[in-house]
Amino acid sequence: MLQNGDKAPDFTLAASPDKLVTLSDLRGKNVILAFYPADWSPVCSDQMALYNEMLRFFERYNAVLLGISVDGAWCHKAFTKDRNLHFDLLADFEPKGLVSRLYGVYQDGVSQRALFVIDDQGVIRWSYLSPIGENPGADGILQALESISTTA
């Protein structure tokens, strides 16, 4: 798993069937990558709902949140609509798990539950691997964003 100080690998993934997101296009903003195993699972649903509620706090730190799993863009679209999410879920679908592998968080056919906070220059400033069955919450993300803002 990539760690603090590593350069975040660039990628382009589908955010919907007709929209692509490229990490390097977000330079100048802090980026939160929330890798998770699967749409519709109970823990993932709770985690994404929490982050949806936390968006205004993340935005105070000039941060963009991106969820990433190996589910396809159509699955993400349905999940986003059903859960009323207001951030992009990216499909690490084909080739399956490529971006998850780049970040060192792919195992047994799914993305592990992992968080990365990337600064506005594309450097990982914090990472965390959570047990698959536990919602990691948002405290670590907020602490990492606060740390970035105090050193900038």
- At 103 the three-state DSSP class reads coil
Q: What is the DSSP string of 4-68?
A: TTPBPPP-EEEEETTEEEEGGGGTTSEEEEEE-S-TT-HHHHHHHHHHHHHHHHHHTTTEEEEEE
Question: Which of the 8 DSSP states describes residue 7?
Answer: B
Catalytic annotation, residues: 44
Q: Tokens 């975040």, residue?
A: 8
CA angle 25, 89, 133 (to 5 degrees): 130
